[in-house]
Amino acid sequence: MKINIQQEDNYTNIGFDGAVDLSSSSDARKNIIEILEQNKNILIDLSLVNYIDSSGVASLVEGYQIAKKLSLKFGLVGISDAAMGVLKLARLDQVFPIYNSKEEYEKDCA
């Protein structure tokens, strides 16, 4: 899995590319937590995720809960079909803030 991080004006955009699974989810988790610990809003791009397992989903849940605790804006964008299938199975598509575009998240962040 590759991780792409982009600093924007008032948030950090982090994208995962490949499989977010047991062998890579600890990296995903570490990066998400690092961003939030810097007190930054976070937008997670899942458009290039071709597989996510329950450990990857757990990293997202943990990030969501930390962001909530710190009153930071957490969002998911560009969710691939593979990732959405798993989020739906976990009924988390009704829990996570999901944005149709980066611009929509930016408006919400402003």
In angstroms, give the least distance from the CB of 6 to other proteins. Answer: 25
SS3 77: strand
Is 58 exposed, middle or buried (CB count within 10 Å of its CB: 0-12, 13-18, 19+)?
A: middle
Q: Round to whole Å and give the CA distance between 76 and 3.
A: 15
Which spans of this chain sit near other proteins (rule: CB under 8 A)?
A: 19, 21-23, 51, 53-55, 57-59, 61-62, 65, 82, 85-86, 89-92, 95
In angstroms, give the least distance from the CB of 33 to other proteins. Answer: 11
Nearest to other proteins of 91, 110 (CB atom): 91
